[in-house]
């Protein structure tokens, strides 16, 4: 799977901000430079929706390990038209780069995306249709800067994809019919020897299982 650009605007930030009319029309025709948009909460107006975006954290027990699976993400607004560019392609801005969605931290070995993962930190990255025949997801390994560090920044519409190898990749599909969510939500539901990870976005959802790998 070929990736053109990886350091870019966070997918969920763009979805909500574009529907709110935050950035100029030129951004739809070509990638915007960080200086055009501003970073973090610098230069935000009183009613700028980015002020409401914060890092959300959810975790679940797996086996005998508390908080064995932890996910961090930004609770950014849902924008159906923009998500359509990611899902169906056809836009040279949204459909030509990868989008880091969430920071996954594992404290135990799991089977995920068809392969085994060691404890560590990973980035869940969406690949739009346009870079691939179908929308997909990459799981990248990365090393945070310091204990508890993350690549996510509250209110920041620009997120650099952390450097690191792609350890898993495959097509994915967000299924319509989920309860409506005006902002991105990720849930972790513990089951016997597994955790179900669900990304709920608008009226769509994507679920994947993380299965405990037992030590022999």
Asked if pLDDT for residue 147 goes beyond 60, the answer is yes
Asked if pLDDT for residue 189 goes beyond 50, the answer is yes
- Distance, CA of 158 to CA of 53 (rounded, Å): 13
Instruction: Write out pLDDT tens, residues 16-48.
Output: 544 444 343 333 334 443 333 334 444 556 666
User: Where is 171: in which H helix or E strand?
Assistant: strand 166-171
- Distance, CA of 154 to CA of 165 (rounded, Å): 25
Report the predicted TM-score, pTM, of the whole model to 2 decimal places.
0.79
Instruction: Write out pLDDT tens, residues 88-127.
Output: 999 888 888 888 889 999 999 999 999 999 999 999 999 9
Report the mean per-residue pLDDT for the chain: 81
User: What is the average per-residue pLDDT within 147-154?
Assistant: 91
- Distance, CA of 135 to CA of 58 (rounded, Å): 25
User: What is the average per-residue pLDDT within 190-209?
Assistant: 96
Residues 6+ apart with CB under 8 A from 85: 91, 93, 94, 95, 128
User: Where is 41: in which H helix or E strand?
Assistant: none
Instruction: Write out pLDDT tens, residues 68-90.
Output: 999 999 887 888 888 898 899 99
């Amino acid at each position: 799977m070929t990736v053109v650009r990886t350091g870019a605007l966070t997918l969920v930030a763009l979805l909500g901000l574009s529907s709110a009319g935050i950035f100029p029309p030129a951004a739809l025709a070509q990638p915007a430079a960080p200086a055009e948009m501003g970073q973090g909460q610098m230069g935000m107006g009183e009613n700028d929706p980015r002020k409401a975006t914060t890092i959300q954290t959810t975790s679940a027990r797996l086996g005998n390990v508390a908080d064995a699976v932890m996910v961090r993400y930004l609770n950014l607004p849902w924008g159906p038209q923009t998500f359509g560019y990611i899902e169906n392609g056809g836009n040279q801005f949204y459909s030509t780069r990868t989008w880091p969605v969430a920071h996954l931290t594992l404290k135990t070995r799991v089977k995920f995306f068809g392969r085994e993962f060691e404890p560590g930190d990973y980035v869940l990255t969406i690949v739009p249709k346009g870079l691939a025949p179908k929308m997909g997801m990459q799981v990248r390994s990365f090393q945070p800067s310091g204990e508890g560090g993350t690549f996510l920044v509250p209110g920041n519409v620009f997120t650099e994809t952390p450097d690191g190898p792609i350890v898993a990749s495959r097509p994915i599909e967000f299924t319509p019919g989920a309860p409506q969510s005006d902002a991105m939500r990720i849930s972790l539901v513990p089951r016997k020897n597994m955790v179900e990870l669900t990304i709920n976005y608008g009226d769509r959802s994507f679920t994947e299982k993380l299965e405990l790998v037992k030590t022999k």
